[in-house]
Structure 1
Amino acid sequence: MKRDNAPDASNTARSGAMLTTALALLPLLLQLPGVLAGVIAAAAVIVAALSWRHASPLVLRLLLVAAMLVAIYWQMGARPGRDTGCALLAAMLAIKSSELRSLRDARSLIGFALFAPFAAFLLDQSPTTLLLAVAAVTSALLALQRLADEEAGITPLPVTAQLRTVGRLMALALPLAMAAFWLVPRLGSPLWGIPERAVGRPGLSDSMDPSAWLDLMADDTPALRAQFFGATPAPEQRYWRGPVLSRFDGRLWVRADARRDAAPPRFNADATRWDYQIEYEPTDNRQLVALDLPTHAPEDAEMDAEFSLTSARPLSALTRWRLQSSTSPVFADALSPGGRRMNLQLPDGFNPRTLALARQWRSEAGTDDAAIVQRSLDWIHREFAYTLSTPLPGRHSVDEFLFDQKQGFCQHFSSSFVVLMRGAGIPARVVTGYAGGVRNRFGDYWVVRRMDAHAWAEVWLPERGWVRVDPTAAVAPERIYDTLEDRLALDGAAADGLDLSGRWDSILQFGDWMRRGWNTAFLSFDAQRQQHLLRPFGVGELSPSQLVALFAGFAVIAMGGMAWLLARGERQRDPLLRAWHRLGRRYARLGLAREPHEPAGDWARRVELRYPGSGLMALSKRFAEARYAGVLSDHVSLLRDLRRHRPKPGASP
C-alpha cells in the first residue's frame, strides 16, 4: 500500500537519485578509515540492489542501522568527534535508498545526500574534495531538474541541454559565493567549538614507541612546507626539532611535564641565521617543529625549556608560521641538579647488559665523556644496519637491539644510544621531529614528508652543553642527508630524457606546487589576511563594517546581474529566437535596426532594398515558418544559418 499520494518515480529518476547519492558519498568516504569506508560503500550497493524492486521492510532497515553503528564503534570507538559524526552521516545515507519509491522519496534522498560533500570539508579541504563536491552538486541539480520535468509531465531536454542549464545556474551563483568567501568578516576563532577527530591523524606526539612509528614512516604525504628567505641550511643542518623526550619507563619515552612551563635557556647563536616560513599540515594536536634551534617562539605559540614549540590551539587546519633559527656552539651552558637527575633517570630492572657495558666504558674512559660518545658511534657504524623490519621488543628492548638484533630504525638507535649514555653517567635525551626535505623546483620551497619523521639524541658534554648526536646517521647517512633530487642528479637523470622516475618526480612536484597555491589562496585565508585584502590597491586595514559594506555592494550588483540574466533567459528561451535577435543586432550596427512594431518580413524587405542579394528574405521566411507555423523540417540547419548570417554592405548599389 502506498504511504502517500506522491507519484512513483521512474527508473530513470531513481537511477539519477542513486547516482547523486554515490557521488555525494565519495568525498566523505575517502576521508574515513579504509575498512569502515569499504563497509559503508558495500552496504550502500547491497541496499540499492535489494530495494530496487520493492521497499525494504522496516525490520531489515533497523538491522542495517544497528550494523552500521557496530561498524563505526569497531573502527572509531565510543569517542565522539568530527569523523565519527561524518561516519554516522555516511552510514545513514548509505541505507537511505532502502525507502526510495516515489518522487518525494527521490527529492528527500537528494537533499539528504547534499549534506555529505559539505561534511567532507570538515575533514579535508583539498582541491580533490572540492571537485568531487562540485560533481555531486551538478548531479543533484540534474536529478532535481529531471524530477521536476517528470512530475509536470514535460519531456526532458537532452542531457547536453540540461548540463548547459545547470552550468549557467552555477555560473550565476559563483560571483556571489566568491564575494561571500572573500568579504564576509571572519572571526579569529570559531563561533562554536568543533569537536576534534576521533581517529587521530599521523604526526608527532608527546611519546615515542618504536612500534607506533611505522605507520608514520610509511606515509609519504607532506608534513610541512618550508620557504627560506635568504640562506638555506645544508642537508646536515636540516633537523626539524619537535618534542623532546626525557622520561623512560623501559619501553616508552615521554616528555617531562615539569619542563613544559619553564623558560628556554639562553644560547650563543652563530652568525648564520635562517629566516623561513613553514606551512604546517593539520595534525589535530599542538606540537610544532622548527629548524634546530629556534631563536624565539612565534605569535600564538610557546617554547619550553627544551626549545620545543607548542601551538596555543590544536592544529586542526593548515597553519603558517614565520620563524628564525640558528645553530649554537654552546647550547645551555649550565645543567641544574634537577635537570641532571631527570636526564640520567633509568627504570630499575631493565637492560642489564647495556648498563654493564656502559659501566665498563666509563671505567676505561675515565672522565672523557666525548670518548664514550665517539666509541658508541664507531660501534654502531661498524656492526649495525638500518631496516624497518624489526620484531616487537621484549622486556629488555635495548639489550635485544644492541646485542642480538643490531638492526632497526631511528627510534631504536636513538633510544638505545640514550640509555647507553645514561648508563655511563652522561646526561642524554631523545629529540623527535623530522630530518631532511626535498626541494620543489617549481616553487623553490622544501617539502618535508611524514615519512621523514626522525628521532635523534642530545648529550650533555662539559663546556659544550647539549650536543646533537644522530646515531642513525652513523649507520645510514643516506636516510638523513640524501634527498630524492640528490639521487636523481647522481644517476644522471637530468641528462636522460627517457628517465621515467625523473619525469614522475616532476609531475609530483608540480602537483604539490599547485596544492601549495591552493593552500595560499584559500586554506590559509584567515581574518588577518582578509583585513589586508585591499592593501595592493593602497587601502589599509579593513574593519568588519567596511567588509560588510563591500560585500553588500557586491551582492547587490551580483544579484542584479543574476536577475537580469535570468529574466533575459526567460524572454529568450527559444534558441531560434535568440539567434534571430543576434542577427538583428548585427544589422542595427549598420543603421538597419528592426522597429518594435515591424514584422520580420517587412523588415527583411526593407533590408533587401538597401542590400540586394543579402539572403535575409529567404532566411526570414524560414524563421517565420519555424517559429509560428511549425513547418520546419531541419531545425539544426536553420539555427546554423541564423548564427552564420552576416550583413553584406558590399551588395549596396
Structure 2
Amino acid sequence: MSNRIDAAAPVVLDAGSRIWVLATAGLCLSALLLQLPGALAGSIAAAAVAIAALSWRKPLHAVLRLLLALAMLAAVFAVMGMRFGRDTGCALLAAMLAIKPAETGSLRDARSLIGFGLFAPFAAFLLDQGPLTMVIGLLAVLSALMTLQRLAELEGGAETAPIRLPQRLSAVGRLVALGLPLMLAAFWLFPRFPSPLWGVPERALAKPGLSDSMTPGGWLDLMADDNPALRVQFFGATPRPEQMYWRGPVLWDFDGRSWTQPQWMSGLPAEPVTAGETVWDYQMELEPTDRRQLVALELLQTAPDDTRLSLDYGLYAPRALNSLTRWRMQSSPPRQFEPQLRQMLRQRALALPAGYNPRTLALAAQWRREAGGDDMRIVERALDWVRAEFGYTLDTPLPGRHSVDEFLFEQKNGYCEHFSSAFVVLMRAAGIPSRVVTGYVGGYRNPFGDYWVVRNMDAHAWAEVWLPQRGWVRVDPTAAVAPERIYDTLEDRLGGGGGVAGRLIQVGDFGDWLRRGWNDLVLGFDASRQERMLAGFGIDRLSGQRLSLLFALVAGLALAWMGWWLARSERERDPLLRAWHRLSARYARRGLGREAHEPALAWAQRIAAAVPERAGELASLSQRFVEARYAGAVGDRTALIRDLRRHRP
C-alpha cells in the first residue's frame, strides 16, 4: 500500500493542527475585537468560541451557517445602525471571521481561514494605531507563520513529528529576519506624501470627545472616560492648571434643551483680539477625534499652518483628524476680545426660545431693574448666588421642559453643563450677550516625561459674556461652587491617589509615557520628519529624489539578501531533505560533516571509520534516506524524519 498523498483527496486536519489554526484565528480576531463596542465584541467572541466547539468534529450544515451569518449581521447593524463606516466594516469582518471555522475541515479550509484571519489585525489599524494593536498584530502574524509551517508539514507527511515551540519560533524568526531589512527600508526611506492620497471613511459610531452640541446631563459617558484627549509639552512659561482652559466648540444657539454650534459661523474670519503680555509656547499632540475642530489654550495668536480660525476663535483643520496629529502653537490670555460686537452677533448672543423658563426670565428682569446699566454687577450677583446656594454633583436627574428653572430654583446641584447653560440663559434674559464655550480644563503633569496630559474626563463647559470696552470675558460659574458643596466628583468615583490606587496611577503614567514615545517614534514620523531624518549628519533636507534613490539602494541590497537566502534554502523544501541536512550539520560541528560532492552512503562509511560506535545506526539511516529520496521506496517517511531528527553524533 502506498503512503503517498492523493492529490485529489483533501487532507483532513488532525487535532493538533486544528488547535493551531483556531488559536491563530482567535489571536487575529482579538486585535479587532478590542476596537469594537464592548457588547458587540463580547457577542462576537462568544459566538466564535461556540462555533469552534460545535464544528470541532465536522463542518456545520450549510443552512445552519447561513442562519449564523444572518444573526451576526443583525447583531452588527443593531449596534452600529445602518450607517456604514470604518467601524461597521471592521465589525462585519470580525463577525465573518468568527463564523469561518464552521466550514473548516480540510487543509485547504485551514489555509483559507488563516489567510482570511490576517485581514483582521490589519483592519484594526484603521481604528487604532497604538502599540497594543501593533503587538497583537505581530503576534498574530507570527502565529500564522508557525501554523502555516505546521500545515506544510502535514501536507508533506510529517505532521506527527515532535517539533517543539522553540524550534518553530526559530524557523519563523528566520523568515521574519529575511523580510525585516526591506520592511525597515520601506518605513524609513520610502518617500512620504505630506497629505494622504485618499480619504479614510468616517466611523459609524463617533469616538468620545467634544461635539458641536451640548445637552445638560448628556456628558456623563465622556466625563467618565479617563483616556487621554491630548498631551502638551510647554517650552518656557507653563500656566497653572486652573489657567488651562482648552478652547473648543463655541455654542450659540439654544432651543430650550440643547446648545448647538452654528455651522455657518465657522466659515467667518476671526474677530480682532488684543493679546496680553503672557505668551505660552507649546506643542500639542492630539488624539484622533474623527472631527475637524481642534482645541487650543486660551486664544491663539496665529493659527498653525494648514488650519484656520473662525469668528469665535474655534480652530479647524482642513480634514477630519482621523489619526494622531501634532501642532505647535502660541497662545495668550486676551486683554480685549472683540470690543465692538456687530448687531447680527449681538442678536444671536441674546436669543432665547419663547415659552421656556419663565421664572428665570422674571428673575433676570428683576436684576436688570436693580442693576440699571451695570452688566458686571449682574454677573457678580449670579456668581455670588452660586457660591452661596449651589453644589457640584454628577448625580443629577434628567431635565424637564423648563430645565433652567428646575436647576436654578429646585435642584441647585449639577455639573458644568448645568451651570454653564443656566448661567448663559440667565445672562441673556438680563440683556447681556452670552454664549457657551466647551473644551477641556486643567490637566495633570506626567512625572515620567515632564509633559501634561488632558483626559476626556477633563471636558468642561463655561460661559463667555460680552462687556463694554472689554469684549468677550470668560466666566466659569462651575468654579464658583464653594468647596464644601462639592459632593461627587469624577476623582471620587475613580478612587483617590493613595495606596493601591496611587500605584495604579503611577503604572498608568509610565504606560502613557511609553505610548507617547510610540507616537513620537512611529506615528509622528511624517513627511517633514523624514526630510530632516539625516540632519544630524549634515544633510539638512532630503528631497523626494534623494529619498527615492536612497530607498532604491537599500531595498536593492535587501532584495539581494533575500535572493541569496532563498537560493541557499531552495533545495530544502522537502521536510525529509531538511532533516537530512540538519543531521549533516550536527556532524559538521564535530568536524565530520558531509562534503557537497559526497554521496550519503560513502559519507556513512567514512564516519564509520572515525566513530565506530555509531556506524550501524548512521548507516541504516543513510540507506533508508537514499531509498526514500532517490529510489522512491515505499516506507514510513514520518518515522524516517523522526529518526533523522533524533540522531546525534
TM range, smaller chain: 0.7 to 0.9
Q: Secondary structure at the match of 1:191?
A: coil
Q: Secondary structure at the match of 1:101?
A: coil
Extract unaligned runs of 5+ from structure 2: 1-5, 573-577, 600-607, 623-642
In the aligned structure 2, how far is the partner of 1:84 from the partner of 1:504?
A: 34
C-alpha displacement of 1:120: 0.6
Q: Deviations over 1:247-271 (max 9, x none)?
A: 1111111113443222222222122
1:128 paired to 2:132:
yes
CA separation of 1:624 and 1:359: change in aligned 2, threshold 3 A: farther
1:536 paired to 2:536:
yes
Residue correspondence of structure 1 range 54-203 to structure 2 within 5 A: 54-154=58-158, 155-156=160-161, 157-203=163-209
Equivalent residue in structure 1 for 2:291, among 271, 274, 285: 285
Extract unaligned runs of 5+ from structure 1: 494-498, 586-592, 600-616, 640-653
CA separation of 1:620 and 1:275: change in aligned 2, threshold 3 A: farther
Equivalent residue in structure 1 for 2:435, among 429, 434, 440: 429
1:326 paired to 2:332:
yes
C-alpha displacement of 1:88: 1.0
- Higher normalized contact order (CA 8 Å, seq sep 6+, divided by chain length): 2
Asked if the contact 1:436/1:483 (under 8 Å) is kept, the reply is: no
Normalized against structure 1, the TM-score is what? 0.86
C-alpha displacement of 1:539: 1.6
CA separation of 1:119 and 1:243: change in aligned 2, threshold 3 A: same
CA separation of 1:180 and 1:583: change in aligned 2, threshold 3 A: farther
Q: Secondary structure at the match of 2:200?
A: coil
CA separation of 1:425 and 1:559: change in aligned 2, threshold 3 A: same
Single out whichever of 570-579 and 248-257 deviates more from structure 2: 570-579
Equivalent residue in structure 2 for 1:311, among 317, 320, 338: 317
Single out whichever of 285-294 and 178-187 deviates more from structure 2: 178-187
Asked if the contact 2:234/2:283 (under 8 Å) is kept, the reply is: yes
Q: Which amino acid aligns with 2:429?
A: G
Look up the match of 1:468: 474
Equivalent residue in structure 1 for 2:53, among 49, 64, 69: 49
Asked if the contact 1:358/1:424 (under 8 Å) is kept, the reply is: yes
Look up the match of 1:214: 220
Q: Deviations over 1:22-43 (max 9, x none)?
A: 1110010111111111121122
C-alpha displacement of 1:225: 0.3
C-alpha displacement of 1:196: 0.8
Look up the match of 2:547: 547
Asked if the contact 2:390/2:481 (under 8 Å) is kept, the reply is: yes
Q: Secondary structure at the match of 2:300?
A: coil
Q: Deviations over 1:119-169 (max 9, x none)?
A: 111111111111111111111111111111111111432222112111221
Look up the match of 1:521: 521
CA separation of 1:414 and 1:367: change in aligned 2, threshold 3 A: same
C-alpha displacement of 1:8: 1.4
C-alpha displacement of 1:290: 0.2
Q: Secondary structure at the match of 2:383?
A: helix
Q: Which amino acid aligns with 1:388?
A: L
Residue correspondence of structure 1 range 622-637 to structure 2 within 5 A: none
Look up the match of 1:391: 397
Asked if the contact 2:247/2:314 (under 8 Å) is kept, the reply is: yes
Q: Which amino acid aligns with 1:35?
A: A
CA separation of 1:477 and 1:557: change in aligned 2, threshold 3 A: farther
Look up the match of 2:505: 505
Single out whichever of 230-239 and 521-530 deviates more from structure 2: 521-530
Look up the match of 2:383: 377
In the aligned structure 2, how far is the partner of 1:159 from the partner of 1:423?
A: 74
Asked if the contact 2:292/2:316 (under 8 Å) is kept, the reply is: yes
C-alpha displacement of 1:191: 2.8
In the aligned structure 1, how far is the partner of 2:398 from the partner of 2:11?
A: 63
Question: Stretches of 4+ moved more than 3 A in 1?
Answer: 476-479, 499-502, 562-585, 593-599, 617-631, 633-639
Single out whichever of 506-515 and 524-533 deviates more from structure 2: 524-533
Q: Which amino acid aligns with 1:45?
A: V
Asked if the contact 1:437/1:483 (under 8 Å) is kept, the reply is: no
Q: Which amino acid aligns with 2:41?
A: A
C-alpha displacement of 1:54: 2.5
CA separation of 1:266 and 1:620: change in aligned 2, threshold 3 A: farther
Equivalent residue in structure 1 for 2:35, among 31, 37, 40: 31
Look up the match of 1:234: 240
C-alpha displacement of 1:598: 12
Asked if the contact 2:416/2:461 (under 8 Å) is kept, the reply is: yes
Equivalenced residue count is: 604
In the aligned structure 1, how far is the partner of 2:216 from the partner of 2:170?
A: 56
Asked if the contact 2:407/2:413 (under 8 Å) is kept, the reply is: yes
Normalized against structure 2, the TM-score is what? 0.87
Asked if the contact 1:531/1:543 (under 8 Å) is kept, the reply is: yes
Q: Secondary structure at the match of 2:460?
A: strand
